[in-house]
Amino acid sequence: MSEIKISFCAPSIRPHLWKGFCDSLANTKVPWEAVFVGPLPPTEPMPSNFRWIESNVKPSQCTHIAFMEAKGEFLALTADDARYFSPGGSSSTDNMIDFIENFPGTDDYAHGMAFGYRMFEDNFCVETSLTHKLNFVTDITAPLLYPFFVVRNIVYTSLHGYDNRFVCGQAENDFLLRVAFKYGHTNSTLAPKSMVWADHETGHHNVSKFREYHPYETDLLKKLWLQDGVFKGKRTGGVENYINDDTLLTVSQGEKGEWS
C-alpha cells in the first residue's frame, strides 16, 4: 500500500498561487502530495511533497497525467487557487479521509463512490446552487457534481480515467457521472467538515483561452448523458481512452487544445 494517503492533482495554470495552496494544507496529518502538470513551472521554492511535471498538452490531459502519476490511495481533483479549511482549525483533508473511511454502506459502494469537499467560490457556497449539478439539468435525481472531488485511485483506473474527447472543463463531470452510474448516487457523499475556497474573482475567467471550448464540451456531455433533454442516468457509448502512453506528455490526444 502506498505511504501517501491522498494526491492532489491539477493542471498547472497560475504558479504564483501554488504556495498559498500548499500552505492551506500545512496542518494535514495524513501523508499527502500534490501533482501539477502543465507548461508553467513553480515561481518559488515548493515543499518536497509537491511535484510539477512539464507538459504542453491540453488541460484535461494534464489532469489525467497527474492522476496516472499520483501515488496516493486517494485522488483529489484540485486547482491552484484552492484553499482548504475546516471549522475550528482542524484539517479539511483529515476530516475528508475520516468521513470516507467511516462512510456507511456496502464495501463496494463505500469504496467506489466519489466524495466532495464543500466548495465556497468567491463569496457563495456552490453546493446550494445549480452549479453543483449539470448546469443544463434541473432534475433533482441527477447526481451532485463536485468541483473538488476525492475518489480512490483504483476506481479512477478501473473506470478508464478521463475521456480524451474533453479538452478542459467537463471531463471531471463526465467521470463523476460514470462513478455515480456504477456505484450509486453522490447526493450523500458531501463531507460535512471538509471545505475548500476558490478565489475565482482574481482572473479565473481569463487564465487561458479554454473558455471557448466550453460550448463544445457542454454539447458533448449532453450527447453522452441526456436523451431528449432529460438526464437518463446512463452514458451513451464507451470511454475514448488515452492510448499513446509514450507520447502522453507531448502530444494532445483526442480533441485538441492549445495553452496560448
- Give pLDDT, residue 120: 80
Give the global pTM: 0.91
Residue 84 contacts residue 24 (beta carbons within 8 Å): yes
Query: Which range marks the domain in which residue 212 is found?
Result: 6-247
Residue 63: per-residue pLDDT: 96
What total of structural domains would you count in the chain? 1
Query: Which residues, in sequence order, are CB contacts of 246 under 8 Å at separation 6+?
Result: none
Residue 254 belongs to some domain of the structure: no
Is residue 20 in some structural domain?
yes
Separation of alpha carbons 61 and 79, rounded Å: 15
Q: Is 107 inside a domain boundary?
A: yes
Answer whether residue 252 is part of any domain: no
How does the average pLDDT of the chain come out, rounded? Answer: 85
**SS3 (DSSP) at 106:** coil
Q: Is 199 exposed, middle or buried (0-12, 13-18, 19+ CB in 10 A)?
A: middle
Query: Residue 99: CA atoms inside 13 Å, Cβ hemisphere, count?
Result: 22
Q: Which of 129-133, 176-180, 196-200 has the highest mean pLDDT?
A: 176-180
Residues 32/49, Cβ–Cβ less than 8 Å: yes
Asked whether residue 82 is assigned to any structural domain, the reply reads yes
Residue 260 forms part of a structural domain: no
The residue ranking higher by pLDDT, 199 or 64, is 64
CA separation, residue 3 to residues 142, 202, 256 (Å): 36, 35, 36
How far is it, in rounded angstroms, from Cα 55 to Cα 62?
7
The single-letter code of the amino acid at 221 is L
Higher pLDDT: 225 or 74? It is 74
Instruction: State how far the Cα of 162 lies from the Cα of 150, in Å rounded to an integer.
Output: 15
Q: Let me know if residue 259 belongs to a domain.
A: no
Quickly state the pLDDT bin for 149 (edges 50, 70, 90).
very high
Q: What is the CATH number of the domain that holds 173?
A: 3.90.550.10
The tens digit of pLDDT for each residue in 28-62 reads 999 999 999 999 999 999 999 999 999 999 999 99
Give the mean model confidence (pLDDT) for residues 148-164.
Answer: 95
DSSP 224: H
* Structural domain includes residue 182: yes
Residue 218 in this model has a pLDDT that exceeds 70? yes
